Amino acid sequence: MKAALFKGKNTSLVIEEVKKPRPVKDQVLIKLSYAALNHRDLWVIQEQTQQFPNGIILGSDGCGVIEDVGEDADPLLVGAEVIINPSLEWGTNPVVQGDTFKILGFPDHGTFAEYVVVSKKYIFEKPENLSFEESAAIPLSGLTAYRALFSKARLRSKEKVLITGIGAATAQWVLQFAVAYQGRVYVTSGADDKIAKAKAMGATAGFNYTDPDWAEKAKKEAGGGFDIIIDSAGGSQFSKFIELALPGGRIVNFGRTAGNIDTIATKQFYWKQLQLLGSTMGTRDEFLSMIDFIESRNLKPVIDTVYPLDQIGAAVDRLQRGEQFGKIVIKMGK
């Protein structure tokens, strides 16, 4: 089969023919129709110092058709149209992942290939309201957004929500989920056109974080601040969120695209009785709830671009430059 292989830090993914995997025990073999990129793939490419001469197949998101099953999997699954939950071996505690937790796509082989094998525990029926292409754009970003907004921040109807970096797919899922739940949503971006697109999706207003006064404008626009702030960037701007949060507010972070957090105004933090919450991926139950939420409200992911597998290098470059608005999807085969 054809696959995109990661072989070492800051090297381009290499398209090669590799041996098609076989399902064993409780595994299923999925012929993938589409996969999708995540910032996690960039982190692996940029930060892993170990060399992999035989290559690792990256990719956490995927949708396709079950072609074969292992000995402990129901043969009636063959032919089923499925998406994959990339949150593997979460453990028994819903509050936090266990020591064996890992994400599909590294260190184990992922979805940037024509086939993938996964345990039957991690396959779910493709949403009826979505195409294969759209379904591949859900798993990692949709799950991350759902846990951050509902399990962590515990959004209530009519609350004011600020979402940072709205060009990212996860941020857009937070936007769609919050709007569908009757939240009042505000966004940030470094690009005015992305803010305009977010407003077309239901955001009340948006703020360009390259403007030195964006935080003051946001606080005024929101009538004093926000009940919930969902952030995927960290970095130096994070300190502004303590000022922007209303008393009793919740700040959730699940990413570091802007680097580590510098400072926090400690007195404001405790005096406002704020909650600062970290979040990563999610549980099986949250994945099921997320899919049900998407189906019941007929939500669809924002697709930025679709690249064939042999052009995955260009897809990675686009993600690295931050040009995307929505999900960058990879098509397998012709």
Residue-level pLDDT at 12: 86
What are 3-15's pLDDT values in tens digits? 999 998 878 899 9
Ranges in the chain annotated CATH 3.40.50.720: 142-278
Residue-level pLDDT at 293: 97
Ranges in the chain annotated CATH 3.90.180.10: 2-138+301-331
> Percentage of the chain with pLDDT > 90?
85
Residue-level pLDDT at 262: 81
Give the residue carrying structure tokens 């396709």: 64
DSSP-assigned letter for residue 20: P
CATH architecture of 142-278: 3-Layer(aba) Sandwich (3.40)
The radius of gyration of the chain's CA atoms, rounded to the nearest angstrom, is 20
Residue-level pLDDT at 11: 82
What are 120-175's pLDDT values in tens digits? 999 999 998 999 999 999 999 999 999 999 999 999 999 999 999 998 999 999 99
Residue-level pLDDT at 49: 83
Cis peptide, bond prior to residue 53, ω within 30 of zero: no
Helix H, strand E, coil C: the string for 282-311 is: CCHHHHHHHHHHHHHCCCCCCEEEEEEHHH
* Per-residue exposure over 185-223, b if at least 16 CB sit within 10 Å of its own CB, e if not: bbbbbebeebbebbbeeebbbbbebeeeebbeebbeebe
Determine contact, residues 172/165, Cβ cutoff 8 Å.
no
Residue-level pLDDT at 170: 95
Residue-level pLDDT at 37: 96
Q: Residue range 237-261: average pLDDT?
A: 90
What are 190-229's pLDDT values in tens digits? 999 999 999 999 999 999 999 999 999 999 999 999 999 9
Q: Work out the pLDDT band at 95, boundaries 50, 70, 90.
A: very high
What are 280-322's pLDDT values in tens digits? 999 999 999 999 999 999 999 999 999 999 999 999 999 999 8
Residue-level pLDDT at 28: 97
Which one of 3.40.50.2000, 3.30.2350.10, 3.50.50.60, 3.90.180.10 gives the CATH number of domain 2-138+301-331?
Answer: 3.90.180.10
> Percentage of the chain with pLDDT > 70?
100
Q: Quick one: which of 6, 19, 1, 28 has its CA closest to 108?
A: 6
Instruction: Please say if the pLDDT value at position 257 is more than 80.
Output: no
Q: Work out the pLDDT band at 255, boundaries 50, 70, 90.
A: confident
Instruction: Please say if the pLDDT value at position 334 is more than 80.
Output: no
What are 274-286's pLDDT values in tens digits? 999 999 999 999 9
Residue-level pLDDT at 323: 86
- Beta pairing class for 303-308 and 327-331: parallel
